[in-house]
Amino acid sequence: MKINDFIFRFPTGLLTRHDGLCRVRTFIGTNSKVYVLLTNLDENTSASITNSIESLFDSLLKRGIVTGECTFIEHYETSLFHGNTFDLVIFDETGGPHWSSIKQSDVEKVLGCDDAELNIPTYEHKRLLNEIARIQNEIDPFINSSWPESPEVMKRRFDIESRMIGKGAISELVENGVNEQELQRLLKSDLTIFAEIYADSKDEYICFSEFPVADGVVDFAVFSGRSRMDVTLIEVKGADFFLVNQGHYDKFASKLEEAVDQIRTRLRHIYENIGEFRSGVHKIRQSVERGAVEHNSLLGPYGKLQVDPNKDINIRCVVIGGRTRNDHEESKKRHDFEHSFSPPIKIESWDTWLRKMRRG
């Protein structure tokens, strides 16, 4: 027979700075003994009941909620990784806990309850959820909020956001079929467009325009990644032609092939001098992180990439240009073309590229 069912707040000692939460149910068992079922909560604000069992037990005793003669059962509710689990917890003479697994059927039998008592998760009980929310707020009203960012990060974020352009501005130029120069002029005013699509983290990136490679430049570049730095090189052409020549689905437009040849020339030089290139891009990265402006650079909000200059870099290449005429046919052609080179060169029309933008 169940006597009570409530959410209990308890100190966890030196484990964390926050008190913990658990669900406590007391039963008079079928053998007339008192059992205390301790249920771990996903919404717990501190260490698990297993890691704080001594503090939890001591707090229940001091509050007069249980006595030393009670039998404790530790309970973890069903999750993606396991079903309900139950363990008897016995405290020895020194107060040390010992656990032994027990089947759910045996728990139901000794508590005298049906399977619904143990199978219905806590989050389906409105009263208990309200109690969890109230106690969580008492412990820390901002406990589920992200950690406040530094003033420097916030300042950089607000500055970047104030200069961002909308997707509509680019779409309008594309719909009007403008040339390469007009598109580049707009894109250079907001390099976050490229970070949004190609950066490994939305807050950790450095973007460039007219980035030098060998004896020339690529139109845009993005540095991002963790540990190994990703270097994405981007060539753009206008929206004043179709990606594939009409009636010739085996041939890209000459302007696109020109961009591919340009980037392949740059790649050839990079891989012939990969050590020098890797060293060079890391020097540029470090200079920008220290506050310099290199090649029209834009530094992301976090202001520093978590990359190792001693590790290899990942080099990726993208060519964007032209308009889509037939999505299905061109998708297959782009896929086959991209994988005909090593390393592959990703091909996008302005239509397919715009679809990847998350901003409005």
Task: Please check the confidence at residue 16 and state whether its pLDDT lies above 70.
Answer: no
Highest mean pLDDT out of 79-93, 134-148, 328-342? 79-93
The answer to whether 301 touches 203, Cβ cutoff 8 Å, is yes
Q: Reading across the β-sheet that carries 2-10, which strands appear in turn?
A: 2-10, 20-28, 34-40, 71-76, 85-91, 97-101
Q: How does residue 143 score in pLDDT terms, banded at 50, 70 and 90?
A: low
pTM of the model: 0.63
Rounded average pLDDT over 94-102: 90
* Number of helical (H) and strand (E) elements in the chain, helices listed first: 12, 12
pLDDT in tens, 308-335: 999 999 999 999 999 998 887 788 888 8
For the chain, give the percent of residues with pLDDT over 70. 96
d(CA 66, CA 244): 77
pLDDT digit string, tens, across residues 188-236: 999 999 999 999 888 899 999 999 998 899 999 999 999 999 999 999 9
At 147-166, the pLDDT tens digits run 677 888 888 889 998 989 99
Most confident of the ranges 81-85, 129-133, 135-139: 129-133
Residue 344 pLDDT level (bands cut at 50, 70, 90): confident
Domain borders along the chain are 2-139, 151-355
What is the CATH topology of the domain spanning 151-355? Restriction Endonuclease (3.40.91)
The answer on pLDDT for 278 being more than 90 is: yes
Residues 6+ apart with CB under 8 A from 162: none
- Report angle CA 304, 308, 310 to the nearest 5 degrees: 145
pLDDT computed for residue 151 by the predictor? 87
What mean pLDDT value characterizes the chain? Answer: 90
What whole-number percentage of the chain has pLDDT above 90? 68
Q: In terms of pLDDT, which residue wins out, 144 or 300?
A: 300
Q: Quick one: pLDDT at residue 237?
A: 96
Q: How far apart are the first and last CA of the chain?
A: 57
Task: Give the per-residue pLDDT at 274.
Answer: 95
